[in-house]
Amino acid sequence: MALRIQTSEIPITHSVAIVGLGPKGLYCLERLLAEFKARPLHDALHIHVFNRFPHFGASPIYDPDQPEYILVNISIGEIDLWDVTDPPIVAGRGQDFVDWYQTTFGPPERLTGDEYLSRAVVGRYLIEGFQRILKHVPTGVTVSCHVGEVVDIRPQGRQYEAEFIAQNGLTQKIKADKVLLATGHSRLRPGPEEQRYEAFAAKHSSAAFIPFVYPVVESMGRVPAKARVAMLGVGLTFIDAVLELTEGRCGRFNRSSDGSLSYFASGKEPLSIIPFSRTGLPMAPKAFDLPTFLRPLTFFTPDAIVQVRREAADGKLDFEKDLWPLFELEMQLNYYRVTMGTGPERARLESCGNDAQAMLSVIESYLEIHPNQRAFDYQRAVDPVGDVEDVRVGADPRIGRHNPVHICPDLDCSSVQSTTDQRRRVVASAAAQRRRDAGSG
């Protein structure tokens, strides 16, 4: 049932519908109210807010009821609901996440802002922010919150009609002048690949296909202890799924004094977790959180591009022939800067400036003196595990319970044996695509 936040006798002549009230819908609502307060309309405004999820502001991603080990992927110092102040916030400047946390939980030591806390606690911050906004709705505005799903929106004259199925299953039609969609990630329709997995699982009683990781406790609850789990995709969702199958099963990660992590299994985990993806690479971490480290370019410079363009037969550049070698020199220089450290070899490298031949001969002598040093190979950046037969990360059955997880390069699992070849194919096809693109460009 719709919850009417503020009733008013003022005739309503303007209406806005916000479909989806996760963080984005929440920011939009806050800004809409700020705009209205700063530039009031002659007539009243009614705002309909629709959300499938009953926790307005949080959305399932920041569900306050999810386990504590499901973490945000941005440091909490970046979370602030109230950082846009023009026009002024109707509710007044609220607390950023760190201050809110301090006030709400009073930890003995104040957070620095660099921490990655649970998504559940961020959800609480968002929900409280939503409630704070509702308490400060400006005069002339009313808000109705509808829990349920908008399943259709059609134009109706100068308005739109939203068809909405409420939590109790009743369908309603609600009109609005403007509709704002803030529906976040859409639901997945299974494609041919998923249908193939599904059909496979249907044929084999010991196999199961789990098409979607969320809600993570329920979906991972389908994985029995000692199962082998292959996971498609090695990004953030993968991390949530692995945390649920490890910490969620009473396992423990311990950090040693040297900073390394060991995992102590509870015995309830799967036997192995086998990540796979199109590239075979984990997702790159966000550079945003890393210290800025500028490396001025030495070889891939505007002057060098002018030079190669001058030398190109028709003035057109070929990616692989003209540009890639400059990239590769740039990468080599930075690779050896790191491996050489700060000694005299590094000084010799730096003294070469943009003389590529000189740099390559310094590198050659360096590798002769240090035969164990791995030479630069950009393929390793593209495919860091390309020369490993296969990698398994999981509880090693030979070791038994309460022992750290081992990474075994000698995997015998047939379901992933083709991944190395697949990765090579991906790299090869990426190179072919580059050539095609360069040819057509």
Candidate segments 71-79, 98-106, 323-331, 426-434, binder of ligand FAD by CB under 6 A = 71-79
Give helix then strand counts, H and E, for the chain: 12, 13
Please say whether the beta carbons of 162 and 171 come within 8 A. no
Q: Are 94 and 81 in contact (CB under 8 A)?
A: yes
Nearer to ligand FAD by Cβ, of 33 and 150: the residue is: 150
With CA atoms as reference, report the closest residue to 81 among 73, 71, 72, 91.
Answer: 91
CA distance 383 to 423: 7
Among 34, 76, 150, 349, binds ligand FAD (CB under 6 A): 150
To the nearest whole angstrom, how small is the minimum distance from the Cβ of residue 395 to ligand FAD? 25
Query: Could you give the C-alpha distances from 309 to 66, 105, 303, 439, in angstroms and in order?
Result: 56, 62, 10, 16
User: Which pair of structure tokens corresponds to residue 81?
Assistant: 């609901």
Query: Longest C-alpha distance within the chain, in Å?
Result: 87
Nearer to ligand FAD, 31 or 424 (CB): 31
- Residue 236 as a binder of ligand FAD (CB under 6 A): the answer is yes
Shorter beta-carbon distance to ligand FAD: residue 151 or 306: 151
CB of 208 to ligand FAD, least distance (A): 21
- Nearest to residue 278, comparing CAs of 104, 429, 67, 437? 429
Binding mask 370-389 for ligand FAD (x = CB under 6 A): --------------------
Residue labelled with tokens 């709400």: 104
Say whether residue 184 binds ligand FAD (CB under 6 A): yes
Judged by CB under 6 A, the chain residues 312 through 341 that form the site for ligand FAD are none
CA angle 138–143–148, rounded 5-degree value: 155
Q: Which is nearer to ligand FAD, 149 or 396 (CB)?
A: 149
Give residue 233's region: left, alpha or beta (phi > 0; psi -120 to 50). left
Q: Choose one: 70-78, 273-281, 304-312, 377-385; the region binding ligand FAD (CB under 6 A).
A: 70-78
In the complex, least distance from residue 409 CB atom to ligand FAD, rounded to whole angstroms: 30
In the bound state with ligand FAD, the residue whose beta carbon lies nearer, of 186 and 440, is 186
CB 164 within 8 A of CB 176: no
Shortest Cβ distance from residue 289 to ligand FAD (Å)? 11
Residue numbers at the binding site for ligand FAD (CB under 6 A): 19-25, 50-53, 59, 61, 72-74, 119, 149-150, 182-185, 236-237
